[in-house]
Amino acid sequence: MSRVVVIGAGLAGLSAACRLVGDGWDVTVVEREPVPGGRSGLLQRDGWTFDTGPSVLTMRDLIADALSAAGTDIADVLPLRRLDPAYRARFADGSTIHVRHGRDAMREEIRATCGDADADAFDGFVDWLRRLYEVEMPHFIDRNFDSPLDLVADPRAAATLVRLGGFGRLGPAVRRRFRDPRLHRLFSFQALYAGLSPQSALAIYAVITYMDSIEGVWWPDGGLHAVPLALATAAEKAGAEVLLGTGVRTVLRRPDTGAVAGVELDSGERIAADAVVCTLDPETAYRSLLPDLSLPRRVRRARHSPSAVVWHVGARGLPAPGTAHHNIHFGEQWDESFEALLDRRELMPDPSRLVTVPTVTDPSMAPPGSTSMFVLEPVPHLGSAIDWRREAGPMRDRLLAFLAENGYPTDVAVEELVTPLEWQRMGMAGGTPFATAHTFGQTGPFRVRNTVRELPGLFLAGSGTVPGVGVPMVLVSGKLAAERVRGYLRDGAA
């Protein structure tokens, strides 16, 4: 039986591990932290619980698929509830629009807040989003690329994407369908997840809008950290070994062929393996595990996505009535803020912020009568001139004032402020948790490959490689890495 070592027990690594152990390989997952999760971590302090990574969970079927590959039914290990509303959107004029689950409910929400014309346009918008998703997912997202020519491997799919306007710009595509500028923001802000402004993002990234605004947002009791725990449980039940609190020092190579031979742990112990899946950020992986290899051009010249400041707050008291689990507060200066963030790499002059309050759904995440929440503000990555050692304090004060102005409790009992410096210390290149931006030149076959040409048997997974950023994409990246391993071990070629 061939052995595979997976470096990192985050969502990508565990997605790969579930599939590989389900294939019958001998799988060992090595994780430096004391618990599974990777970037989907957990912070517990004095009775408050916080997810330290993703907070928005979409595409439940991708989790179910990974669990099923290891012989586990999602209903047995990860009960999920759908959030409705998925978001509460608050605008600078004081108005509110809720993102409701279901076409009928959302159409009527738009009718009540934006008028009949935009409500009548919603069905066509949903049909467009769904068609984009149906074409993109199998042909451009959930697949490995060996060459840019693979983009036209299925000419009909490529032609359909062109016909749908997928290579146009997202912002203008949304504006053409709706009159109300609030809907323009609500259905295009997701471009920021891809590291771009709605004006510059390709319309193909409307699939992110489809995932969270149409397919819906889910929540597991106890927080999103429950997802990697469920995946780790499934992998172990199927026979994988998960080593926690165990760091990897280097990737070993065969002296005869130069191919992967296993890994050496920080302890000096060696684990032999026929293939290795590494889920570290690609730049971090090359610098720490493969120091004798030159950084690939795509890694060396990567354009990073903006970063974010995240302030985890455990506060005494409860939020104002009407507060949702996820709350987006849109600033007035929309275009100006994106120009500052992306073009000049400055703080947004009028930032839009996400406030996630899990205790609205799950009160167990805070002591009785208290609130667990975090507020996220997009900020430039470390390529900017901002000195976060000086800026952290003023940023914290601004966020506190913002929470007070918007009805959130501010009697802070516990807190944790995460800036780009902290993201960098966690191994995220550029100090951003959102990896490289999804420009056309960093998408699909142009993104950092999940194979390492100089080291046969080493494969990459995670947000820094294909297909990209976000919980759904990272789960898919684990699947794609597992497919690479399968081809390498069975056919002798990646």
Read off the CATH number of the domain in which 486 is found. Answer: 3.50.50.60
Mean pLDDT computed over 170-187: 97
User: CA 205 to CA 441: how far, in whole Å?
Assistant: 14
Together in a domain, 377 and 347: yes
Q: How confident is the model at residue 258 (pLDDT cuts 50, 70, 90)?
A: very high
pLDDT at 154: 86
The last residue of a domain, from among 408, 429, 450? 429
- For all residues of the chain together, what is the average pLDDT? 96
For residue 166, pLDDT beyond 90: yes
Inside any domain, residue 98: no
Task: Mark residue 236 as left, alpha or beta (left: phi above 0; alpha: psi -120 to 50; beta: remaining).
Answer: alpha
pLDDT at 152: 79
Together in a domain, 341 and 441: no
Together in a domain, 282 and 312: no
For residue 101, pLDDT beyond 60: yes
Mean pLDDT computed over 273-300: 95
Inside any domain, residue 7: yes
Inside any domain, residue 143: yes
| CA 22 to each of CA 66, 176, 322, 351, 389: distance values in angstroms, whole numbers, following the listed order | 10, 46, 45, 45, 46
The candidate with the shortest Cα–Cα distance to 242, out of 228, 252, 253, is 228
Together in a domain, 199 and 241: no
Domain span including residue 194:
119-205
Q: Which of 93-107, 198-212, 380-394 has the lowest mean pLDDT?
A: 198-212
For residue 62, pLDDT beyond 80: yes
Inside any domain, residue 469: yes
Q: How confident is the model at residue 492 (pLDDT cuts 50, 70, 90)?
A: low
Together in a domain, 318 and 412: yes
Inside any domain, residue 74: yes
pLDDT at 212: 87
Mean pLDDT computed over 360-380: 98
3 state SS for 401-449: HHHHHCCCCCEEEEEEEECHHHHHHCCCHHHCCCCECCCHHHCHHHCCC
For residue 360, pLDDT beyond 70: yes
Q: Which of 98-107, 190-199, 253-262, 470-479 has the lowest mean pLDDT?
A: 190-199
Q: What would the pLDDT profile of 8-44 be if each residue is shown by its tens digit?
A: 999 999 999 999 999 999 999 999 999 999 999 999 9
Mean pLDDT computed over 366-378: 98
Inside any domain, residue 211: no
Inside any domain, residue 441: yes
For residue 491, pLDDT beyond 90: no
Together in a domain, 193 and 262: no
Together in a domain, 317 and 366: yes
Together in a domain, 309 and 410: yes
The last residue of a domain, from among 170, 205, 240? 205
For residue 138, pLDDT beyond 50: yes
Together in a domain, 309 and 296: no
pLDDT at 164: 96
User: CA 88 to CA 73: how far, in whole Å?
Assistant: 32
Together in a domain, 154 and 189: yes
Together in a domain, 408 and 469: no
Q: How confident is the model at residue 213 (pLDDT cuts 50, 70, 90)?
A: confident
Mean pLDDT computed over 362-387: 98
Inside any domain, residue 96: no
Number of domains in the chain: 3
Q: What type of residue is 430?
A: G
The last residue of a domain, from among 398, 429, 460? 429
Q: How confident is the model at residue 494 (pLDDT cuts 50, 70, 90)?
A: very low
Q: How confident is the model at residue 1 (pLDDT cuts 50, 70, 90)?
A: low
Q: How confident is the model at residue 348 (pLDDT cuts 50, 70, 90)?
A: very high
Q: What would the pLDDT profile of 454-490 be if each residue is shown by its tens digit?
A: 999 999 999 999 999 999 999 999 999 999 999 999 8
Together in a domain, 296 and 443: yes
pLDDT at 148: 86
CA angle, residues 79, 80, 81, in degrees to nearest 5: 135
User: Model's pTM, two decimal places?
Assistant: 0.96
CB 350 within 8 A of CB 333: yes
